[in-house]
Amino acid sequence: MTQSFRLPNGGRIDRGRTIRFRFDGRDYEGHPGDTLASALLANDVTLTGRSFKYHRPRGLLTAGSDEPNALVELRRGARREPNTKSTTIELFEGLAADSQNRFPSLKFDLLSVNNLLSLFLTAGFYYKSFMWPASWWEKLYEPAIRHAAGFVICVPSGAGWPNIEEGTASSAITSKAISPSE
């Protein structure tokens, strides 16, 4: 696999060995010493996520732990770990990461239509617009907003999941990172 954006020498990267990893279901190669972010850049992957509200394209901005854009999701199922900074993930054999805040894919995000509607989606829009009828909040509005934002799925309290976030939406709902298939 050609890495046209890889520097030929320098840094703490062992270019003599190769590590295979996956990002958004596609196979890539990196080297020991790479972070997920540096390996993606070396493989010419510059689009790493979408913005929260308008789903605008986002790429790498910094090389450190203060990276605001390249947030990825690691693992699947009940051990899913959202909002992990790709600049802090050391590459290892078999790493599987997925981008966030996109539907159905990173390059073709249907929710980027929000950018065209940005004039009407002002600050506070979600909270003012989805108050009636109140019974729809937990069943329709909150799950739809969380899905669009790439946030964790809401699970009713007492459904066998640990209570890790109390009082986020209502006392009857707690959040737990799980995959939609569970």
- For residue 98, being part of any structural domain is answered with yes
> Do 87 and 133 share a domain, yes or no?
no
58 close to 69: Cβ distance less than 8 angstroms = yes
What residues make up the domain containing 142?
122-176
- For residue 9, being part of any structural domain is answered with no
> Do 90 and 127 share a domain, yes or no?
no
Quote the pTM value: 0.69
**Model confidence at 154: pLDDT above 80:** no
> Do 66 and 105 share a domain, yes or no?
yes
Of 109, 136, 153, the one marking the end of a domain is: 109
Closest CA to 97 of 178, 40, 175: 40
**Model confidence at 88: pLDDT above 60:** yes
Question: What percent of the chain is modeled with pLDDT above 90?
Answer: 29
Residue type, 69: N
pLDDT tens figures, 97-117? 999 878 788 888 887 777 777
Instruction: Report the domain count for the chain.
Output: 2
More confident residue, 30 or 107: 30
> Do 43 and 103 share a domain, yes or no?
yes
> Do 49 and 76 share a domain, yes or no?
yes
